[in-house]
Amino acid sequence: MFRRLLILFDAGSAPEQVVHATRALCEAPEAVHLYGLVPERSELDAPPPASLTVLDRFHQAVHQWSPTAHLSQVLESHLDTSALLRAAARHGADLVVLGPLLDSSPRARVATMLGLALREHLPVLSIGRASAAPPADPPRVALAVAPDGRGLGAVATFLSRCALPSELVALTTGSATQEHARDFEALSGALGISQTLHVESLVGDAAGGRAEAFDAAALRCGAGLLLAPLDAVADVEALMLGVFGARALQEARVPILLLPRTQASTSLFDERLVVSDSIVANGLDPRFAVEQVGFMSSVSVPDSGTLTLFAGGASLGEWRQEGGVAVLPASRLDPGGGTRALAISRSGPTAPRALAACHVLRPEKPLVLIDSVLEEEPLEAAYLLAGEACHPVFVRMRDSTSLEEHRERLRELLPDLAWPHLLDASAWLDDARAEDVPRQVAGLRLLRVATRLAAAGIAISAVVIQDPDGQKPHHPFLRTLTPNECLDLPRGKPLPPLPTPSEADPCARELLFAGCTPSMEGHDIDFELDNARARESVLAAIDAARVTVHWQCYIVEDDPITGRVTAALKRAAARGVRVRFLADALYSGHDSFGAMNPALVSLAATPGVDVRAISPLVGGPSLSELKQRNHRKLVVIDSARAVVTGRNLGAPYYTGFDEVELHRESHYRDIPWLDCGARLEGPLVGVVERAFLAEWSRAGGDTFDIPPSPPRGTMRARLTLHEGLGDTHTLDTQLALIRRARSRLVLVNTFPLLLELQNALVAAIRRGVRVEVLFGSVRPHHGPERTYFPGGAIREVADRYVRSRLDAVIAAGGVAYEMAMPPRAGWEPGLERVAPHVHAKLLVSDEETVAVGSANLDVTAAYWESEALLLVEDAAAARKLLAELEALFATSRRIDREDAHWRAEAEHRSWVGRNWPSLVG
């Protein structure tokens, strides 16, 4: 490995000792430069100087060692570090050997060593005054590495270039534990260190005595060489070594090879890397959480950077991490089952420095996913539930506690576990560390991690969650267990995975796991983007009803439009139609806190009409009671026709833009909203009606029969129903459509993007998908100067919040339009364009699939409220709807990032985005 040597020797030292230690590293050097230290003497001194005698002996020893080596020498009267550094550079030395220096300052010796290693990036072999011949068998090398593995990268690089047939002993400070041994085993295997590795601790060593302690430990374990990589210490520690450990190095009994830094240090206190474990399967790329641990064990998330992965001694290449999440293409990992140890580094592939050990599991058995913060008894029960038949996999739900702390806790509570396989939920969900997600949904997030793995074909035996705050999460294909349920199960008898869909198409499989119904054909579906047309259509359907009208709504306004609908319902009841009406108690102001909605009171007084309130509130309601509302808007008539919509019952939702007279003094509530729904005939009508019946029964209503709905057309469709804190089906459906998009995504909504959806859209843009968003103004305005209509001033803050979540999408290359309507007859001419609120919830994927219903794109719809979403899988219908939307794009204002007004609001948007409470949604 080393071909050009510079040997620094003292006139009083024994050259054989130096040559013997150096020969272990160099079989036949091509050049040796001898740099001798000679004390000053008088020319009248009679005997020849000892230095010349030693120099002759060095010449003889080097000649016997390597007869063809080129020899040169220089003699100096004292150790001049700068001169030595220049000499090393001049002679092109790739190894500097410091023999025993009898009369030189120990601190000068250490300064020379650090100067060579830090400034010149040269390895330095230091041979102390007390160096003894190493034992011949077995040959051993000791490694001075940090407890977190720092330094192993430099060692691996050195060993790959210098074949030392030896056993390796890792010497670490602190307490050597079984866990340290496992960490070192994982890192060394990933870096290609094949020699046997033992771990030995140096307990209770202060900085002042650490060099002596390493020397004593190396001697005790029979090492003939101590490898000391500077990567294992921070700059401050190196400084302390020079101040306090100089004499110990001067007197060392085991030769020390000081390996230089693999890259320049950027901080007095080096930050070490910590990485979560991961899972890989066909079509599923492993995802990692990345953290930095710095001064005083502070934990931070790196914004971005390049990482390198090592396995089996080979670099698997570089990839980027952003926001503490790294995604490695599955193609980088060899096929096969089982667990593979990896090493991840922040530096380049030839010289890893900041290293982290982790494992990637390619499951051969079903998984048991376990919340890593379970209490001791249920945690042990969950681990035993996995037994030999399953892989226990732990998941960190929040990064408020570091990965290191989670691993230490798991090792402490489960000492028999060889390696606690620890995933990070945010890495898999890409939800920005759940900054906008309430803590009450930890169980749902864990279930969503399991869903993503299961959709990729990984068998899941059980998902063990914390005790739910309210409703227990559920999934049609996955089993969830609470701690008490886990404790009640027989120990050592794992549960078989539930049956999963046999659907081979990955897109369809993902939609099924997202909670969609199977795709059904035989439908006639028409989208209703025009408010007036939607109103007249539903009124005509009510007037044509013969048997039943079932209406479910979130908000019921007491206004003329509601009056027209309730009048039609009363007429239907008068001719014998059974009318059932469901309204959310809180947001319809009906049967909560003593309030009653006049429009619903009048409707309920009609014979043949039954009105029910969903989840009435009294007294001091809990947060869950306030947030877990039913947001669905459904209409079913005669079990044959249905409407799945985003429209509540009131004027803003069912009034056309050309049906109102607008002027500067119009109140903001007089401005119609853009909304959308879908009229549906075919088999899914029965699914919609069963959803109504389930909620009707919970509200105390009578049961009723639901006849089958026959086919009425040729269109294919699915329905997704989300029930509060019980699942996240509509969110997972939206994400599936975004993740599977190949060419174009169009979104219409004015609710603040959940960060997970924001990240999914940015990822879509980066893979080449065109993303277009049409949003509205929560506080309507008009004209080029954004003049607001009177009222609703607080809504400006909501507007800033919505726009703050669009900033990242626009910055990534997405196209955003602020909706604006051109002048209409009856509008004051000075208004020019009017920017209304957009209440529609639309998502169009690849001009093939349309998702429409009640589900917004915010945290409230994703987790708290019950929703309904219709997926129409018909390219002709999608293109027809897109033509209507593109007409709206043409009159709307496309956001320009460089626009003065948009830039002026950037800081305010950012502040609101950071400080808007996530509970508001």
According to DSSP, residue 860 is labeled I
**pLDDT score of 319 more than 90:** no
Instruction: Tell me the percentage of the chain whose pLDDT exceeds 90.
Output: 55
Q: Which one is predicted more confidently, 323 or 470?
A: 323
Q: What is the pLDDT of residue 137?
A: 60
Residue 514 CB contacts under 8 Å (≥ 6 apart), including other chains = 451, 455, 720, 729, 732, 733, 735, 736
Exposed/middle/buried for residue 638 (C-beta within 10 Å: 0-12, 13-18, 19+): middle
Q: What is the pLDDT of residue 265?
A: 47
In this structure, how many other beta carbons lie within 10 angstroms of the beta carbon of residue 886? Answer: 12
CA angle 505, 507, 510 (to 5 degrees): 105
**pLDDT score of 25 more than 50:** yes
291, two tokens: 């953290």
Distance in angstroms (rounded) separating the CA atoms of residues 349 and 501: 42
CA angle 443, 447, 448 (to 5 degrees): 115
97, two tokens: 């050997």
Q: What is the pLDDT of residue 354?
A: 64
User: pLDDT tens, 750-775?
Assistant: 999 999 999 999 999 999 999 999 99
Distance set, CA 302 to CA 266, 274, 346, 717 (Å): 15, 11, 11, 43
Q: What is the pLDDT of residue 340?
A: 78
Distance of CA 571 to the CA centre of its chain: 55
- Mean per-residue pLDDT for 439-458? 95
Q: What is the pLDDT of residue 34?
A: 87
User: pLDDT tens, 215-224?
Assistant: 888 888 888 8
**pLDDT score of 269 more than 60:** no
- Mean per-residue pLDDT for 681-698? 98
Q: What is the pLDDT of residue 101?
A: 79
Q: What is the pLDDT of residue 40?
A: 57
According to DSSP, residue 438 is labeled -
User: pLDDT tens, 499-526?
Assistant: 999 888 999 999 999 999 999 999 999 9
Q: pLDDT band for 236, please (50, 70, 90 cuts).
A: very low
- Mean per-residue pLDDT for 675-700? 98
Distance in angstroms (rounded) separating the CA atoms of residues 238 and 259: 13
Query: Helix (H, G, I), strand (E, B), or coil: what is residue 9?
Result: strand
Query: Helix (H, G, I), strand (E, B), or coil: what is residue 716?
Result: strand
Average pLDDT, the chain: 88
Q: Which of 267-271, 368-372, 883-887 has the lowest mean pLDDT?
A: 267-271
**pLDDT score of 585 more than 60:** yes
Q: pLDDT band for 206, please (50, 70, 90 cuts).
A: very low
- Mean per-residue pLDDT for 614-625? 90
Q: pLDDT band for 250, please (50, 70, 90 cuts).
A: confident
Q: pLDDT band for 710, please (50, 70, 90 cuts).
A: very high
Q: What is the pLDDT of residue 624?
A: 87
Distance in angstroms (rounded) separating the CA atoms of residues 324 and 312: 25
CA 776, 779, 784, 789 torsion-angle sign: positive
- Mean per-residue pLDDT for 1-8? 87
- Give one DSSP letter per residue of 321-358, joined into a string: EETTEEE--GGGSPS-SEEEEEEEESS-TTS--SEEEE
**pLDDT score of 794 more than 70:** yes
Q: pLDDT band for 76, please (50, 70, 90 cuts).
A: confident
Query: Helix (H, G, I), strand (E, B), or coil: what is residue 226?
Result: strand
718, two tokens: 């699915």
Q: What is the pLDDT of residue 696?
A: 98
**pLDDT score of 41 more than 70:** no
Q: What is the pLDDT of residue 51?
A: 57
- Residues 597 and 581: beta-carbon distance below 8 Å: no
Residues across the chain: 921
Distance set, CA 873 to CA 277, 526, 530, 867 (Å): 38, 13, 21, 19
Q: Which of 248-252, 403-407, 675-679 has the lowest mean pLDDT?
A: 248-252
Q: pLDDT band for 244, please (50, 70, 90 cuts).
A: low
Site of tokens 């898999």: 428
Q: What is the pLDDT of residue 262?
A: 65
Q: Which one is predicted more confidently, 111 or 820?
A: 820
Distance in angstroms (rounded) separating the CA atoms of residues 148 and 180: 8
**pLDDT score of 724 more than 80:** yes
**pLDDT score of 44 more than 50:** no
Q: What is the pLDDT of residue 416?
A: 87
Q: What is the pLDDT of residue 154?
A: 78
Q: What is the pLDDT of residue 614?
A: 97
- The reported pTM is 0.84
Radius of gyration of the chain (CA): 36
Q: Where is mean pLDDT largest: 198-202, 233-237, 286-290, 576-580?
A: 576-580
**pLDDT score of 469 more than 90:** no
Instruction: Tell me the percentage of the chain whose pLDDT exceeds 70.
Output: 91
- Residues 744 and 738: beta-carbon distance below 8 Å: no
**pLDDT score of 375 more than 90:** yes
Q: pLDDT band for 349, please (50, 70, 90 cuts).
A: very low
Helices (H), 266-397: 376-386
759, two tokens: 């990240």
252, two tokens: 């060392």
Q: What is the pLDDT of residue 180?
A: 64
- Residues 279 and 453: beta-carbon distance below 8 Å: yes
Q: What is the pLDDT of residue 242?
A: 52
Q: What is the pLDDT of residue 75?
A: 81
